[in-house]
Amino acid sequence: MNALRRIWDHFEEGFIVFLLAAMTLVTFVYVILNNLYSVFYSLAEQWQSASEPLFAVGDSIMGMAQAMTWSISLTKALFAWLIFFGLSYGVRTAGHIGVDALVKLASKPVQRIIGIIACLCSLAYAGLLSVASFEWIQTLFIAGIGAEDLGHYGIMQWHIGLIVPVGFALVFIRFAEILVRIVQNRQTGLGLADEAAEVMKLTEHEDDKK
């Protein structure tokens, strides 16, 4: 049970790491291939005795580079998934910026009530977008349209767009967890990031160094 809890607590991080690694790998291979064939062409021009096999290798690498037209579309799709996993990750780790200067002037019970209201509004927003985007995905599924430069590999538009309802569903779940903590008095507000407090900490740290 504890293992499942740890997996759930780090679910977004795992996917974010995977997506970043995949984007980096695809881009790296594409850039290398687009620059490597010219090296073999240059060597072939310098060494006439080995020009034929060197040109053959250069042509082969150029063919692979030209065949990777899908890499840009795949990178954009992975980046889209990264954004929506990032939304949920930001809610879970209090990474989103909060504007709550006036709220903090209120007493703790009032802050708790405001936190519940804000959480309910966030749940309504995430739920509405999750349902609406799911209906959009159903339309794409019925249409069966292939993704740009990826359709001939069997990747459809709804495969890429599926992250929208999934992402907002994860956001809904994370806000639901926050609501439970607020109701149980384990948390006061949404726990959003406080830039002012972070700046003050950095300033104090710099003063300590001096």
Strand partners, 156: 146
**Vertex 97 angle, CA 173 and 104, to 5°:** 95
Residue 207 has pLDDT above 60, yes or no: no
**Cross-strand partners of 128:** none
Percentages of the chain per state (helix, strand, coil), in multiples of 5: 80, 0, 15
Closest by CA to 159, choosing from 149, 168, 169, 151, is 151
Least confident of 14-28, 113-127, 194-208: 194-208
Q: Label residue 54 by pLDDT band (50, 70, 90).
A: confident
Count CB neighbours of 186 within 10 A.
9
Q: What is the 3-class SS of 38-98, one letter each residue?
A: HHHHHHHHHCHHHHHHHHHHHHHHHHHHHHCCHHHHHHHHHHHHHHHHHHHHHHHCCCCEC
Q: Please, are residues 160 and 76 in contact by the beta-carbon 8 Å criterion?
A: no
**Measured distance CA(5)–CA(67) in Å, rounded:** 43
Span 24-50, mean pLDDT? 86
- On the question of pLDDT at 84 being above 50, the answer is yes
Average pLDDT, the chain: 82
Residue 23, pLDDT score: 94
Encode pLDDT of 94-137 as tens digits.
665 655 556 666 677 787 888 888 889 989 999 999 999 999 99
pLDDT score, position 1: 64
- Inter-helix orientation angle 11-46/70-92, to 10°: 150
For residue 110, the surrounding DSSP H or E stretch is: helix 108-143
pLDDT digits (tens, 9 = 90+) for 144-168: 888 888 888 889 999 999 999 999 9
CB 44 within 8 A of CB 51: yes
**What does the buried/exposed string (b/e) look like for 101-111 if buried means 16 or more CB atoms within 10 Å of the residue's CB?**
eebeeeeeeeb
Q: Round to whole Å and give the CA distance between 180 and 170.
A: 15
